[in-house]
Structure 1
Amino acid sequence: MKNRTLCLALGLSALATVGFAKKEQKNVLFILVDDMQKTSIHAYGNTQVVSPNIDRIVQEGVSFGHAYTNGSLGGALSMPSRAMIMTGRGVYQVKQDGAVIPESQVTLPELLRANGYETFGTGKWHADKKSFNRSFEKGDHIFFGGMHQYNQNGHMSPRLHHYDPTAEYKEPFVGDKFSSEMYADAAVKFLSERKKNDRPFFAFVAFTSPHDPRNQHPGYGHTYHPEEMELPVNYLPQHPFDNGELKIRDEVLLPFPRTEEMIRKDLADYYGMISEVDVQIGRIIQTLREKGELENTILIFASDNGLAVGRHGLLGKQNLYEHSISVPLVMVVPGMEKGVRSESLCYLYDIYPTVCDLLQIQPAASVTGRSLLPVLQNPEQKHRDQLFLAYNSSQRALVKDNWKYIIYNVDGVVTEQLFDLSNDPDEMINLATDAKYAFKKDAYKRILKEEMKKNNDFCDLDRHFWRGKPGKMTWEEALKLYN
């Protein structure tokens, strides 16, 4: 508690030092979607997807073409990814794989709240309820958990909460609209009722689309027909080897092998969810425009992770391929570059210190991410030399200089992959077994080992079983790590 108080005091001191008047402070609108591939946006070249509002965000801001979530120690990526975003810390630095955000890890909205910001949250919060209330002084239509359940009518009947000052959130209510519309309604209401000259705001809108269930769609958006869907170039009926994650929830949603008809239907449903959430994103931005606050608002758009949807014979995100571990990230900053793309490597948890730099507020002492402000000022600027990616106890990867090295250990069976991302962005040609690339593969493995040690990884690539015993780490074991 003492450390947290000190962190917040530092933030207040920094605000006083720069001497900003309230009216000069920019607002922040953070829109986070769930399970969205970066290649499923029309503005990025996917002509099959209808996403006009997300396209406008891309056209108005800086896109980070190589943004990644750091990974996950358990079954899903969403929980640690969202905790990393909120705390500005890596996957080995959050508590219980993101299930709990302790007071010692000051969240971004919590810091801004201490610096005079009005903080508002709606939608998905995948951590503990107390950390939500520390972060947000206001909120509505809040969803605590990972996904809307199939047996509860999915997105059509979301189980939500009104803001509870006690942070107990005992009894949810059932929303009478599609989840995305419920979250947008809450955001629009908050923005509409604010007076323009009130305190600056930080609004966090965390949609649960396009995460499944996708069995029902609302009556708005765009309708896609399976027979018109183009299969991804890296579509496979099944994954070529056991990656340790072929029988988890995401992967058993469709039977094996995955036929072309199955994937076309899944893509049609998936793109439909992207189009429906795009409509709701448009409503929120239009509200800001009507209030005359859009030009004074930093807008951040991102996804917590990607998704396979038939690529490499997979459906889910429990892998380290680009479609699942790399994410869309766009920042629209008034007065800065528009419609440009940066190829700099970055993590999602770099967003926190970036926002702090943009607002001239000192980040909390618990933050370990690196600010992207130099890249926003010059998109050609290099940010990170390499990225280290991890999933459970069976998959590790390194991204560096447009190459990716992935290594798997499934019950002692080791498989390696090496991809030239410049010439093979869909990761279809594994060069790990090509003698011409043996030196590069060995060099990347050596760097990966160094990154694992640096990050206090519980796995060791030199052991037969990386974590000292066979079998992948269980969810319960993952929650006990890094407390």
Structure 2
Amino acid sequence: MTQQHTNVLFIMADEHQAAALSALGHPVAKTPHLDRLAARGTLFENAYTPSPICVPARAAVATGRYVHKTRYWDNAHAYDGRVAGWGHVLQSGSVPVTSIGKLHYRSEADPTGFDDQILPLHIAGGVGQVWGSVRNPLPTTLKATGMLGPIGAGMAKHNAYDMRVADAAANWLGAEARKKEPWCAFVSFVAPHFPLTVPEDYLSRYPAAQMPMPAVRPGPAYQPHPWVTRMNDIENSDAELGTDENRGAAIAAYYALCEFVDAQIGKVLDALEASGQAENTLVIYTSDHGETLGMRGRWGKSVLYREATQVPLILAGPDVVKGARVQTPVSLLDIAPTITGTFDLPSDPDWPGTSLIQIAARPDDPDRIVFSEYHAANSASGGFMVTNARWKYHAYVGYAPELFDLVTDPLETCNLADDPAFAAQQSAMEAALRRICDPVATDAAAKADQDMLVARYGGPAAAFNTGPAGATPVPGPQ
């Protein structure tokens, strides 16, 4: 017999493109378990990250606050519990809170709102990517990072870690103690984040020669924005790949990793079903950010275009409409009030988000504004994004802005900024941005904090060589 209380199972992948769901008709990616979750829940088709890079995005999710409010700017400024978040609210309400898997905070010892951390993955050595804080000025030294890692079939340590996380979560959900009280669990995976290594069973279903090349590539028909081009002075994975044959192999491995992580999520969802708690558990699925996958000559994340800032977001469980699609723009910052509201606990008045359950219950609101910002590795200045369902605006400190009509230009290739015909739309989006932050002042604050960090590590030259270039190592022997 199921319990009458409601639990929360919050599942997160890393670097999962919003479009890479077979439920959305993706021509390549196969995600049957997430499709099953979407069929019994609600899919938010315009969901965005508060920052297109791991550590700031995860700190924002934890705290329910914008990056510029918490000052967890980059992959060396990691969440440490200094700013309270939804986990602390649940703890104050005597709701057990457990994490299983990747957190990407500073340290397991920090009071980050979890009673228990199972198999936690945090920034390397409690230090992280210090080199990414060297931005004032941004160096011109190219780092040959091999960021994407070994590409192809195999069993990477990160794959094995994700499998351990899935097994640990399944065992945790099956414990009798779970059935006696409300609980919240955050289960988090590395895939489909690079390294682009994946077991052969998955990769064999994605022939590299059949992979579609990026829809938008640098060339006569498209010139990347100078803010993006400047990133290639520091890290240029596309040049490291070199050929379309190699790019096809990388794309195949990425989509295979999407199916791989879907299978791990399936283990967790099956365990929830077997425990008898599925009907009284709110399930949230998302990713911390997307993946550029060669678009505009970039790999990873770190840009403001939708391939990096848009994320998959699915809600299923009590009081969630089955098979629904929501067009209202939403943010990962809406997750904090969703979780606390599930336990009838108060939202922090400083949280800008709204419960996703409330948003889904209302008519679509195409004018709702969501916000993202970037102050991390390879960026010469702060990048800021505001978007609603149609208009998307990018502001770059020291660089020209961008304005896109997402209805007529979903790939964001035609910049309408400063076109007199769209002056009203640009003015409205600029005003929406300034209601959230002052871009110049925010950029200065980020660089001031980063300059202090760089100084602690011996100055720019020493700091630029401190921290991992690619994926954060997983726990256990390396």
TM-score bracket for this pair, using the shorter chain length: 0.7 to 0.9
Aligned to 1:243: 227
Q: Following the alignment from structure 2 to structure 1, what is the Cα–Cα distance between the partners of residues 16 and 392? A: 21
Aligned to 2:394: 406
CA contact (8 A) 2:291 2:299 kept: yes
Q: Following the alignment from structure 1 to structure 2, what is the Cα–Cα distance between the partners of residues 94 and 383? A: 28
**Shift of residue 51, structure 1, vs aligned partner:** 0.8
- The count of residues paired between Structure 1 and Structure 2 equals 420
CA contact (8 A) 2:340 2:347 kept: yes
Extract unaligned runs of 5+ from structure 1.
1-21, 159-176, 461-465
Structure 2 residue identity aligned to 1:114: S
1:213-258 residue CA offsets vs partner (Å, 9 max, x unmatched): 1134364576311111122433446852421552377x42331796
Q: TM-score scaled to structure 1, two decimals?
A: 0.78
Structure 2 residue identity aligned to 1:395: G
**Shift of residue 49, structure 1, vs aligned partner:** 1.0
Q: Following the alignment from structure 2 to structure 1, what is the Cα–Cα distance between the partners of residues 188 and 331? A: 18
Which of 86, 92, 98 pairs up with 1:108?
A: 86
CA contact (8 A) 1:106 1:366 kept: no
CA contact (8 A) 1:27 1:200 kept: yes
Q: Following the alignment from structure 1 to structure 2, what is the Cα–Cα distance between the partners of residues 386 and 435? A: 23
Which of 441, 451, 454 pairs up with 1:477?
A: 451
1:450-483 residue CA offsets vs partner (Å, 9 max, x unmatched): 4323xxx4538xxxxx749xxx949833869xxx
Aligned to 2:5: 25
Q: Following the alignment from structure 1 to structure 2, what is the Cα–Cα distance between the partners of residues 241 and 137? A: 45
**Shift of residue 259, structure 1, vs aligned partner:** 4.5
Q: TM-score scaled to structure 2, two decimals?
A: 0.78
CA contact (8 A) 2:81 2:111 kept: no
Structure 2 residue identity aligned to 1:92: H
Which of 97, 100, 110 pairs up with 2:73?
A: 97
Aligned to 2:405: 420
Aligned to 1:163: none
Q: Percent identity?
A: 27
Which of 102, 122, 127 pairs up with 1:144?
A: 122
CA contact (8 A) 1:97 1:478 kept: no
Which of 259, 266, 269 pairs up with 1:275?
A: 259
Q: 1:364–1:228: structure 2 CA closer, same or farther, 3 Å change rule?
A: same
In the alignment, structure 1 residue 396 sits paired with structure 2 residue 384: yes
**Shift of residue 437, structure 1, vs aligned partner:** 2.3
The farther-off stretch of 231-240 and 316-325 is 231-240
Alignment of 1:45-60 (within 5 A): 45-60=25-40
Aligned to 1:340: 324
Partner of 2:392, secondary structure, is strand
Aligned to 1:228: 210
1:8-35 residue CA offsets vs partner (Å, 9 max, x unmatched): xxxxxxxxxxxxxx94321111110001
**Shift of residue 377, structure 1, vs aligned partner:** 2.0
In the alignment, structure 1 residue 36 sits paired with structure 2 residue 20: no
Q: Following the alignment from structure 2 to structure 1, what is the Cα–Cα distance between the partners of residues 369 and 170? A: 39
Q: Following the alignment from structure 2 to structure 1, what is the Cα–Cα distance between the partners of residues 266 and 242? A: 34
Aligned to 1:168: none
**Shift of residue 190, structure 1, vs aligned partner:** 1.0
Extract unaligned runs of 5+ from structure 2.
129-146, 376-380, 455-478
In the alignment, structure 1 residue 184 sits paired with structure 2 residue 184: no
Aligned to 1:6: none
Q: Following the alignment from structure 2 to structure 1, what is the Cα–Cα distance between the partners of residues 96 and 204? A: 35
Structure 1 residue identity aligned to 2:168: A
Partner of 2:279, secondary structure, is helix
Q: Following the alignment from structure 1 to structure 2, what is the Cα–Cα distance between the partners of residues 61 and 132? A: 34
Partner of 1:254, secondary structure, is helix
Q: Following the alignment from structure 1 to structure 2, what is the Cα–Cα distance between the partners of residues 108 and 50? A: 32
**What root-mean-square deviation, in Å, do the aligned CA atoms of Structure 1 and Structure 2 show?**
3.2
Structure 2 residue identity aligned to 1:116: S
Q: Following the alignment from structure 1 to structure 2, what is the Cα–Cα distance between the partners of residues 332 and 248? A: 43
Q: Following the alignment from structure 2 to structure 1, what is the Cα–Cα distance between the partners of residues 202 and 253? A: 13
**Shift of residue 102, structure 1, vs aligned partner:** 5.4
Q: 1:86–1:39: structure 2 CA closer, same or farther, 3 Å change rule?
A: same
Q: Following the alignment from structure 2 to structure 1, what is the Cα–Cα distance between the partners of residues 313 and 282? A: 13
More contact order relative to length (CA 8 Å, sep ≥ 6): 2
**Shift of residue 428, structure 1, vs aligned partner:** 2.2
Q: Following the alignment from structure 1 to structure 2, what is the Cα–Cα distance between the partners of residues 445 and 258? A: 38
